[in-house]
């Protein structure tokens, strides 16, 4: 849980002037400063950075150069879908007073970027998320009412289940599902499974074919709950999460908070995107996907995201749902 605080040495270097040269793993990665303040710096770079990654910044202030240690607090797709935009908070080093001249040299660069003909793809994705969610909730209303009734008949307890999950940049939100488990069940069962699954993935390497992502035999699930899960009907309430802005229709699945305690920096990159109801790994193997493969596919989605990819995943999702033998 405190892994990023235990880093013994920085893993990359920035040199900030009119441009940024980033050295990482004996490679040079192009980057430029987008904004700078006394508390941190925002850069545009060619590579996706890890949350919690520590950086040494050499900042040229015109009359002097100071070194400061910084930590990556967020990283997302860059403007116009090019590269990545990252924010770093200063952790140590001499205090600096940054005036307007610190960003003056980048005004022409930013103006050139702003002049490029492009649409805001993030806004397009958000519009698509809201529109499709409202439409699907309206079309599925009879099914929602029927499922609600059957849940109450099947076992005592509420119709819906809310659970704290980690969203974009680790922001907590309440994740909605139709209740498919017995009310007031023992959460320690899944907690133990998730811990062993993730740590085994670290122990046996990036490719671990033994660790299926979901718990296969779970005594907490009700009879009707098995049907809901097999057909992914229990996920329908997450369209309300999409409308609220906590989730997207397509994206990495939001991890449970206790799972994050065991994530390494590479795995935390899943938090760089808004979580989704469906995604690349769900359409590539559903519940039979291993943990390490899930991470690989989620990071591939983040690095190659486009509206076209979202449409492709959505079109594949119904066929994936019908593969009942791959669901638990």
Q: What is the pLDDT of residues 139-160, one digit of tens each?
A: 999 999 999 999 999 989 999 9
∠ CA(141), CA(147), CA(150), 5° rounding?
145
pLDDT in tens, 11-54: 454 444 433 445 566 555 566 776 776 677 787 777 788 888 87
Per-residue H/E/C for 91-105: EECCCCCCCCHHHHC
pLDDT in tens, 158-170: 999 999 998 887 7
Q: How far apart are the first and last CA of the chain?
A: 29
pLDDT in tens, 219-229: 788 899 889 98
Position 99 scores a pLDDT of 40
Statement: residue 244 has pLDDT above 90: yes
Nearest alpha-carbon partner for 120 in 80, 88, 147: 80
Task: Give domain limits for the chain.
Answer: 3-115, 121-326
DSSP assignment of 188-256 equals HHHHHHHHHHHHHHHHH-S--TT-BSS-SS-TTB-HHHHHHHHTTGGGTTHHHHHHHTS-EEESPPPPB
Position 105 scores a pLDDT of 34
Position 306 scores a pLDDT of 87
The CATH architecture assigned to 3-115 reads: Beta Barrel (2.40)
Nearest alpha-carbon partner for 314 in 257, 262, 239: 239
pLDDT in tens, 57-75: 666 555 556 677 788 888 8
0.85 cut: is pTM over it? no
Statement: residue 312 has pLDDT above 80: yes
Burial of 264 from C-beta contacts in 10 A (0-12 / 13-18 / 19+):
middle
Statement: residue 192 has pLDDT above 60: yes
Element (H or E) spanning 127, and its range?
Answer: helix 121-139
Statement: residue 128 has pLDDT above 90: yes
Question: DSSP 3-state assignment of 4?
Answer: helix
Residue 28: how many CB atoms within 10 A of its CB? 10
Statement: residue 253 has pLDDT above 80: yes
């Amino acid at each position: 849980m405190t892994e990023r605080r235990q880093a013994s040495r920085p893993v990359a270097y920035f040199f900030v002037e009119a441009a940024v040269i980033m050295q990482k793993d004996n490679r040079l990665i192009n980057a430029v400063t987008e904004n700078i303040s006394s508390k941190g710096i925002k850069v545009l770079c060619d590579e996706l950075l890890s949350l919690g990654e520590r950086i040494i910044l050499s900042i040229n202030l015109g009359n002097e150069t100071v070194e400061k240690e910084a930590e990556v607090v967020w990283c997302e797709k860059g403007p116009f879908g090019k590269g990545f935009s990252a924010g770093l908070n200063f952790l140590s080093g001499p205090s600096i007073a940054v005036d307007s001249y610190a960003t003056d040299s980048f005004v022409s660069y930013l103006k050139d970027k702003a002049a490029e003909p492009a649409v805001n793809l993030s806004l397009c994705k958000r519009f698509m998320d809201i529109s499709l969610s409202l439409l699907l909730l309206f079309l599925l209303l009879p099914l929602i009412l029927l499922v609600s009734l059957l849940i109450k008949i099947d076992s005592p307890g509420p119709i819906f289940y809310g659970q704290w999950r980690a969203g974009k940049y680790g922001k907590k939100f309440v994740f909605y599902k139709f209740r498919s488990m017995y009310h007031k069940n023992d959460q320690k069962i899944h907690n133990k499974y998730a811990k062993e699954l993730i740590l085994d993935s670290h122990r046996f390497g990036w490719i671990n074919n033994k660790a299926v992502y979901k718990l296969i035999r779970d005594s907490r699930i009700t009879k009707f709950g098995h049907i809901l899960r097999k057909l992914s009907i229990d996920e329908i309430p997450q369209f309300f999460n999409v409308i609220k802005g906590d989730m997207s229709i397509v994206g990495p699945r939001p991890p449970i908070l206790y799972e994050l305690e065991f994530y390494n920096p590479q795995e935390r990159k899943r938090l760089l995107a808004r979580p989704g109801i469906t995604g690349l790994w769900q359409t590539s193997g559903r519940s039979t996907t291993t943990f390490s493969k899930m991470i690989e596919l989620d990071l591939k989605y983040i690095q190659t995201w486009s509206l076209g990819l979202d449409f492709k995943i959505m079109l594949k999702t119904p066929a994936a749902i019908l593969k009942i033998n791959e669901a638990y």
